[in-house]
Structure 1
Amino acid sequence: MPTLHVLKVFVGEDSGGGPVGGNPLGVFLDGGDIPEEERQPVARELGFSETVFVEDRPSGALRIFTPTTELPFAGHPLVGTAWLLAQEGNEVSALRPPAGGVPVRGADDMTYIIGRPEWAPPFEHVEYGSPGEIDSLEGPPPGLDQAGVWAWEDEAEGLVRARVFVPELGISEDEATGAYAVRLCARLGREISIRQGVGSRIQARPLPDGSVEIGGRVRAVEERDFEISSR
């Protein structure tokens, strides 16, 4: 029976220093034991914005599924999986989703990955004038199915407030979206700190070759046996 690890990725801090936010993630470290035809149904059953199936721990090869489709690249699944592999004694220097090699590193309480903007979904970027306008939204701007909405909290300090809506991928609103952070950071061309969802925090900085490093904190939620039900 495969083991399911549930994590929260890009965990932020509240005003008292306690954890807040973080995007739930399911990870099967022995995902290669789960038949390919079962992976999409499992991801749909779990209902997380993404579920990871690690096919080979030493090489970092893995696959990423939303409830409705497979993704070649996604930020919070890769940050979370890099952290989990290190915790389990399988630390790697790179992960290998279908998009390509993704360098990873840990520093203090943070885990970082490097991705390319063109690997991320083609999010629409909609800038608003204030964080309050972002908070008041009840859904994506009309007519948009993959939208990141954002506003400066403090432009001088590089602080951004954002929300991301991707209903076409089966995710009405994503709590913390690393792939969008990659796109937005590349678009702005500067280091930023993004507060997304209810309080998740994503750090992002552009690199000279056009790629972007993103990072954040990861916390374990639970570990349990997962029965692959008959479908």
Structure 2
Amino acid sequence: MNTTARSRPSAVTDIDVLRVFCAGDGRYGNALGVVRDGRTRPDEASRQALAKELGFSETVFVDDPERGDVDIYTPGVRLPFAGHPLVGAAWLLDLEVVHPPAGEVWVRGDGEFTWIEARAEWAPPRTLRRYGSAAEVDALDVPEPGEWIYAWAWEEEAAGRIRARAFPGRGDGIDEDEATGAAALLLTAELGRALNITQGRGSQILTAPGPDGVIELGGRVRLERTLTLTP
């Protein structure tokens, strides 16, 4: 997966577009933009502008590909931590650890899955709203902008299977988030057990509580395409 970066003028920006938390057949997953050479967008304003232009739920800028120093943006704000961007970046960079602003994130591979270790307190606040059935979650309309809602219901409680949908409520063009690792961390911490979450159209997120408040977050990743932006 690793490739040697080509020498490019600083004004040219290469962006790998990944799908993170794909289903078993490779479909679905949340789109993620990864700028492998963060020097092409060196300041916060230019990074925020690019994240808004791309319109993905998150875009990652890699500041040091060997150390795994990364910077994460939604179309509207910079984030210290986010689940699917870190799973995707760790897979793409093929590292054992990545460093977002929130702290050190350890990584492991397990066959088709990439796992990261994180803490629920790193996740931004979310409203976890439980429903009585998966059908109720499926029938939900996108709410008006406001609070960030993670709607969920048990599909099979004994097996830890969850049906979920995520509504960021930010008014930035992302009405529904296809696969949300941070919210999965919060739900895992609340329920205190491993979960197998089907979110959005069919994305799959796996979680597993560990010692000392650490939670593993895992899923499949695939490279969809590479974009090149020029002035």
TM above 0.5: yes
CA distance in 1, matches of 2:71, 2:96: 17
| Structure 2 counterparts to residues 121-200 of structure 1, below 5 A | 121-140=124-143, 144-168=146-170, 170=172, 171-200=174-203
Query: Which residue, 14, 21, 29 being the options, matches 1:10?
Result: 21
Matching residue of 1:210? 213
Contact 1:2 1:28 in 2 (8 A): yes
Which residue matches 1:220?
223
For the 8 Å contact 1:3–1:226, the answer to whether it is kept is: yes
Could you tell me whether the CA contact under 8 Å between 1:175 and 1:197 is conserved in 2? yes
Q: Is the 8 A contact 1:66 1:169 kept in 2?
A: no
The number of aligned residues is 218
> Which digits, 9 at most, give the CA deviation of each residue in 1:83-139, with x for residues without a partner?
1112xxxxx221111111111111111101111111111101110010000000002
Secondary structure (helix, strand or coil) at the match of 2:31 reads strand
Backbone CA RMSD of aligned residues: 1.4
2:38 paired residue number: 31
1:42 paired to 2:50: yes
Percent of aligned positions with the same letter in both sequences?
50
Matched letter for residue 93 of structure 1 = E
Paired AA for residue 31 in structure 2:
P
- Alignment partners' CA distance in 2, 1:190 and 1:167: 27
Contact in 1 for aligned 2:112/2:220 (Cα 8 Å): yes
Aligned counterpart, 1:89? none
TM-score by length of 2: 0.91
Map 1:79-158 → 2, pairs under 5 A: 79-86=87-94, 92-140=95-143, 144-158=146-160
Is 1:160–1:195's contact at 8 Å kept on the other side of the alignment? yes
Q: Structure 2 counterpart of 1:161, which letter?
A: R
Separation in 2, partners of 1:178, 1:137:
20
SS in 2 for 1:172: coil
Q: What secondary structure, in the 3-state scheme, does the structure 2 residue paired with 1:168 have?
A: coil
Report what 2:7 is aligned to. Answer: none
Task: Provide the TM-score with structure 1 as the length reference.
Answer: 0.91
In structure 2, which of residues 70, 87, 91 is the aligned counterpart of residue 62 of structure 1?
Answer: 70
- Once residues 23 and 104 of structure 1 are traced to their aligned partners in structure 2, the CA distance between those partners, rounded to angstroms, is 19
| Structure 1 unaligned regions, length at least 5 | 87-91
What is the alpha-carbon distance in structure 2 between the residues aligned to residue 81 and residue 43 of structure 1? 16
1:143 Cα deviation from its structure 2 partner: 8.2
* Gap runs ≥5 in structure 2: 1-11
Displacement of 1:19 in angstroms is: 2.5
Does residue 1:52 correspond to 2:66, yes or no? no
